[in-house]
Structure 1
Amino acid sequence: MNSKMVKKAASRKTYTPQFKEQALELAKKHGVPKAAQDLGISEQALYGWRTKRKQTGQSFEEQKLQQAEMARLKRDNARLEEEVAFLKKAAAYFAKQPK
């Protein structure tokens, strides 16, 4: 296989919620194109962040905290569902046994 043909997987940059908030404030003051150029990010990223903040009405930090809480609740729910299933099986087993 030719080494020139092997494509390197593109890594996706991630930004902190604080960076996003600061970038949006800069874009509000100086405009999206200027802010994107100054920060070295794409204009589409800034427009996307701005749209997401408008839709949710929350800061990115609040969104991240809410997502973490949702993930924790889903894990707890899955654990509790497993416990309920186990208890149902145990109850059915003991109900069948003669006294």
Structure 2
Amino acid sequence: MARRKRRSFSAEFRAEAVRLCQVGDRSIAKIAKDLDLTETVLREWVRADEVNVGREKPPEALTSTERDELVRLRRENKRLQMERDILKKAAAFFAKESE
């Protein structure tokens, strides 16, 4: 089986695909086939939407905004740690120089 080329989809397309799944008149497998998607990716979109709107929230699940904030905070934390390390080295250098 040949691998499918990685595609990207707009937020509107994803939202419409999820909406079709929530209507419930067709199975996720049928909708995925009709939209030329894999069933797995469509199920992931539906699960992510359920977490984002608060319908289902397993303890380890993060909403999109929480995930974005986590990425931002990790980046900021790394920058602050680097700044702290630089200041420690500078303080040690100047303390050594003043002896």
Normalized against structure 1, the TM-score is what?
Answer: 0.64
Cα root mean square deviation, aligned: 2.7
**1:36/1:43 contact within 8 Å kept:** yes
Query: What is the match of residue 84 of structure 2?
Result: 84
Query: What is the match of residue 16 of structure 1?
Result: 10
Runs of 4+ in 1 over 4 A off after TM superposition: none
Instruction: Give the superposition deviation at 1:91.
Output: 1.0
CA–CA distance in structure 2, aligned partners of residues 9 and 33 of structure 1: 19
Structure with the greater alpha carbon radius of gyration = 1
User: Which fold has the larger relative contact order, with Cα–Cα distance below 8 Å and residues 6 or more apart in sequence?
Assistant: 1
Alignment length (residue pairs)? 87
**2:18/2:42 contact within 8 Å kept:** yes
Query: What is the match of residue 35 of structure 2?
Result: 39
* Partner SS for 1:41: coil
The equivalent position to 1:49 in structure 2, one of 18, 34, 45, is 45
CA–CA distance in structure 1, aligned partners of residues 85 and 15 of structure 2: 44
CA–CA distance in structure 2, aligned partners of residues 52 and 26 of structure 1: 15
Normalized against structure 2, the TM-score is what?
Answer: 0.64
Identity value in percent: 32
Moved more, 23-32 or 42-51: 42-51
- Unpaired segments ≥5 residues, structure 2: 54-62
